[in-house]
Structure 1
């Protein structure tokens, strides 16, 4: 059994950052355990290739949630990255920090050091924003952020005009002074390749002699001496192995795997642990509870102008954009499916936006088995306007089914389980139709394909979004941060309540979900968490 100063379980958006920062001085030895394999795969590195990784078991946990009454009984597909970089290696790459008010609420809930003013210097330090430095943006950091303003499909500009005709302001930077309005999304790429957390942080760290990364290493439980975590047991190549941590074990396994690993280790709801025969090390009812996620839906239209469907569907189109990408690292394959979007309020009386928009210059109504049909869109000119809720009030949970670490945990999302979430989504889908009815869009729309013009009444609209909605892959809060051990799993320094030698550093610690995509805030959590560790280990 080898001993390291720090053991990091998980190489995802936060874990990669923690590994880089803890190893930078050369004073500490760091072991990173990753259950998956390498990120050096063509469809991982090619930005639009995530359509191919959406169901690929080689890089994806392919979780499935429990049948959900709120989603008309459907069992939602939950992709999560199982490779170096974690979900940052298979996500849609949209870079949204979250709203100032989100982080200020974290701090106000008893988490000092987590306000927007506290975190802004860290955001700027980790960023290398192609749009340039200003009061809010940073340059020179490890994470390159691409400005796509001059690369998006021409139809995107019509969407932006229509949204402004519907009353939304144009917003040049959702990570700037405010979030409200519509604009072009910034994405985490560099020179046409995905800029995952592995590429930005872990790969540089792996060049250091004090860093060891073990892939295909499934952590099975944390090892304790009394209440102190002293190591990790893991399986690799059919063998059970152990590693000891001289200073700390850091769990960065994400909002599904972090609570799962704690529960497998005897940290969690005592009744649950007893029911599967796991001795209780530390009882905490919040481990796996308080699950929050953003839920979204697309409205799809058939257009009178060519869309990316005409480019990406025919063999000759695939050949052309493929050659363009290989030769110049540009074109549609170098971008996210979400060219643009925005944030709006479903009620003018709200203090800030509660809904997020997405514009996609292609459509995928016709499914294709084995992949998300991004690279094989519909045979007619189609496009979609999507949306998701930003701060839903519904809460779910993630709980182990057995003591077998290979057994996927039970994911109970409870989508649309409150009247609040149903009412705001109803108002939101009506606003999507308002955007589509504006002159800039209406003049090029032949018909609404989904849900279609026959869906008119409130009851029909609600029934439709229950049937067609799904996760937008932003689960958080299953090991939430807070000062009170009766309501949280970790304290404001990310130490697990009631234990020593173990922290959780990933999106599972979010006290509440943020307004927007969660990857940027997950990376920030890794940066901030590493600061907290380094403050205590000089």
Structure 2
């Protein structure tokens, strides 16, 4: 086999790509090429859970939306990992699978037979090495460590008590029989360190000679022989390389990257491709159905200097850094997004609101990694879990180096605005509890004058909503090429040896963070590739 000839080519070494590469190496004798546009993950702040704010902007694609008409024409940045491990190297490490209803809707509403909850649960369990839970919902032998945070801030404890005052049941497992309640997140961490898919799955096979990993490799397009994918063209170190795949080309570049590569390869909306001078190979709804979770930050100052503010400065930073380096313990083992609440705002028994609790103030700027406010306080990030609006990803030009045109259409459906306002109101109730009210000094955002005015709360949402970095759906799977890009085996409709395996195939975003569902999806996809379903 020549230097550039492989059995499988995987584009994107993120949450899905690392899983695919590792399992194909472990379960077959195949030669695998894994291409990543970003660099290596050899960074102390990637390894350190609390270091996420230090690296998210530096190790992410700078995706930015076009002006969002329903969010007062703001442009929003959607950071997605551009580094070995992808977003699993820069995310908040929250392990949330979503709800049973999410996957049953995939099967029943969207026609994705074989993707219902009972179909996917075995793959969640196969991936998981849960360090504290062992029951019908959890696995202990997988490659993905899932654990409790080693550090819990006193403010996070107060948040939990506040939720219980509001009649939310305490829940030690948001991934079991019910998501409804308040508690602490489990995280993809191990021994006080981030457990990205690069540091878990990929690490397990990194020394295998059959695996070739190319970093700083930007894929331009897929190569075809008729309707058969035979390889890819990518650039690295200023030169172009064509690599051949004898078995499959797999796109795992995410909800922006995967549709971009398909369209650059001539697969997508015919008229759009023709306008850019790209010869269409297939007229498929690539880039459509893009959607994402939004959140709003409820920010308050505290009466006493008890938050995490200042923990990364001066002598405090030295003390915390020494504790983490020596013992992998203390504040720096926290993923910062420590507390969680899921609640039903409509009375239908299904949680549609999520709260992340931070024992520090969040920035209310739109730019990831911006400096945080210089004041003690805490933040409730509140969001609506079931967005109805759909946007689209379009090419800006034929040049693979150019950014896409991203029309997220945030708040483009009336229910998304109404659900977001309900989420804000729910979050504000926490501040009136006996557990939190004595701690609060001032409500900083939203402004107190807005609280009793529905129109003002709607404007608060429009002006201050931000992405939760959960974009999905732009290459959605389904039975028909009229409204989907891949079939239920994740093969691109009308093509052979070409699949999309990442969060872009999700027909509807899951109720919560998307890293765990993406890893599950990749685990299931390996069985589909090998014809060996569980």
Give the Cα separation in 2 of the matches to 1:160 and 1:268.
47
Question: Which SS does the other structure have where 2:244 is aligned?
Answer: strand
Give the Cα separation in 1 of the matches to 2:400 and 2:185.
38
2:337 — aligned with what? 338
Q: Deviations over 1:404-455 (max 9, x none)?
A: 0000111111111111111111122111111111111112111111112111
Q: Runs in 1 of length 4+ with deviation above 6 angstroms?
A: 366-370
1:138 — aligned with what? 139
Give the Cα separation in 2 of the matches to 1:536 and 1:132.
28
1:449 — aligned with what? 444
Rate the CA distance shift 1:24–1:322 in 2: closer, same or farther, 3 A: same
Q: Is the 8 A contact 1:72 1:466 kept in 2?
A: yes
2:531 — aligned with what? 535
1:55 — aligned with what? 57
1:166 — aligned with what? 166
Q: After superposition, where does 1:125-524 map in structure 2 within 5 Å?
A: 125-148=126-149, 151-284=151-284, 286-312=285-311, 314-348=313-347, 350-365=348-363, 371-373=369-371, 377-456=372-451, 457-524=453-520
Rate the CA distance shift 1:282–1:298 in 2: closer, same or farther, 3 A: same
Question: Which SS does the other structure have where 1:325 is aligned?
Answer: helix
TM-score (norm 2): 0.96
Give the Cα separation in 1 of the matches to 2:56 and 2:346.
34
What runs of 5+ residues in structure 2 fail to find an aligned partner? none
Rate the CA distance shift 1:501–1:313 in 2: closer, same or farther, 3 A: closer
Question: Which SS does the other structure have where 1:61 is aligned?
Answer: strand
Rate the CA distance shift 1:168–1:70 in 2: closer, same or farther, 3 A: same
Question: Which SS does the other structure have where 2:490 is aligned?
Answer: coil
Q: Is the 8 A contact 1:12 1:88 kept in 2?
A: yes
Give the Cα separation in 1 of the matches to 2:486 and 2:127.
24
Number of residue pairs aligned between Structure 1 and Structure 2:
529
Q: After superposition, where does 1:30-69 map in structure 2 within 5 Å?
A: 30-56=32-58, 59-69=59-69
Deviating more after overlay: 450-459 vs 180-189: 450-459
Give the Cα separation in 1 of the matches to 2:168 and 2:389.
27
Give the Cα separation in 2 of the matches to 1:217 and 1:140.
33
Deviating more after overlay: 498-507 vs 17-26: 17-26
1:25 — aligned with what? 27
Give the Cα separation in 1 of the matches to 2:103 and 2:196.
23
Indicate yes or no: 2:118 matched with 1:117.
yes
Rate the CA distance shift 1:364–1:50 in 2: closer, same or farther, 3 A: same
TM-score (norm 1): 0.95
What runs of 5+ residues in structure 1 fail to find an aligned partner? none
Rate the CA distance shift 1:210–1:133 in 2: closer, same or farther, 3 A: same
Q: Is the 8 A contact 2:77 2:367 kept in 1?
A: no
Q: Is the 8 A contact 2:297 2:364 kept in 1?
A: no
Rate the CA distance shift 1:61–1:440 in 2: closer, same or farther, 3 A: same
Rate the CA distance shift 1:508–1:306 in 2: closer, same or farther, 3 A: same
Give the Cα separation in 2 of the matches to 1:340 and 1:440.
14
Indicate yes or no: 2:9 matched with 1:7.
yes
Q: Is the 8 A contact 1:309 1:378 kept in 2?
A: no
Q: Deviations over 1:192-225 (max 9, x none)?
A: 1110011111122221121111111111000011
What's the Cα RMSD here? 1.7
